Structure 1
């Protein structure tokens, strides 16, 4: 088959519609996570998908070892309350025409995010990535890399800070997109 024939065959194929009914948007409050949140809003508006805004409270990172011992297993409720408040504020950014809800879980985000995606039957996970690189990820472990490996659905990683993007989503800094 010649190149021209292949191009003609591609042009005459019926258009396919990409369907995504649920988008999971994990956030840790970082700039990269907010960039992903904005991208998820655009995707939800284009596809009619429902958003789930997820914050995972990782007590191992938030509560020191001394506090964990002195609390005798008690989990500070303030951390979960703060997560709910943060997500409530974030919900004010979601346009009214987009269905969205919030969810707060506790545990290791590398395990919780794929589990929530499976439970909610998400068609896509949109999350930020700090882009530390392979060596740094080996040393400390990368949440986005772990989610990529374990997710039951496609994962869209968004790099860059929100200030790098205009309101229409176009890149202003010249370093490309997601």
Structure 2
């Protein structure tokens, strides 16, 4: 049986742990699964020509900030691909999204034909989660495929 497993990755340790856990526990020797590494970077901010302090953002500064964001996202995907190389049993694809992580992950899982979404949990308490929002909770409630939320053990 071939599965398309979408793994949401970012620069966090929780994300790396979830990917490693997925490779160790979900992928068998005889599997023909495809792991799709999905990273979502925030939308580029929209700045007015003149900010509140009187500084003007030039197009060069905006382009530099956008390039940094793209480079960071590509580095995250490269690190995740390196983790996957330890398991030669899977085919690895990468996908880079841009926007609100909650919405983009849900959209991409459906668009990519994902059979399973794997993501890490930051383990925020109720107070932090109320202000920051929970990406994993949103995805668990809004994707059509099963969602596996992997919690990193406390040290």
Same fold judged by TM-score > 0.5?
yes
Partner of 2:123: 131
User: Which residue does the alignment assign to 1:54?
Assistant: 38
In structure 2, distance between residues paired with 1:116 and 1:24:
9
Q: What is the root-mean-square deviation of aligned Cα atoms in Å? A: 2.8
The structure with the greater share of residues assigned to strand is: 2
Q: Which residue number corresponds to residue 78 of structure 1?
A: 68
Q: Give 1 or 2 for the bigger CA radius of gyration.
A: 1
Distance 1:138 1:98, change over 3 A: same
Match of 1:44 among 4, 12, 27: 27
Q: Output the TM-score relative to the length of structure 2.
A: 0.78
Question: TM-score scaled by structure 1?
Answer: 0.69
Q: Provide the rounded CA distance (Å) in 1 between the counterparts of 2:90 and 2:137.
A: 28
Q: How far apart are residue 91 of structure 1 and its match? A: 1.1
Aligned to 2:107: 115
Q: Is 1:80–1:104's contact at 8 Å kept on the other side of the alignment?
A: no
Question: What is the aligned partner in structure 2 of residue 31 from structure 1?
Answer: 13
CA contact (8 A) 1:53 1:102 kept: yes
> Gaps spanning 5+ residues in structure 2: where?
52-56
- Matched-pair contact (CA < 8 Å) for 1:44–1:51: no
**How many residue pairs were aligned?**
143
Higher RCO (CA-CA < 8 Å; seq separation 6+): 2
**CA displacement at 1:90 relative to structure 2:** 2.2
2:102 and 2:138 in contact (8 A); partners too? yes
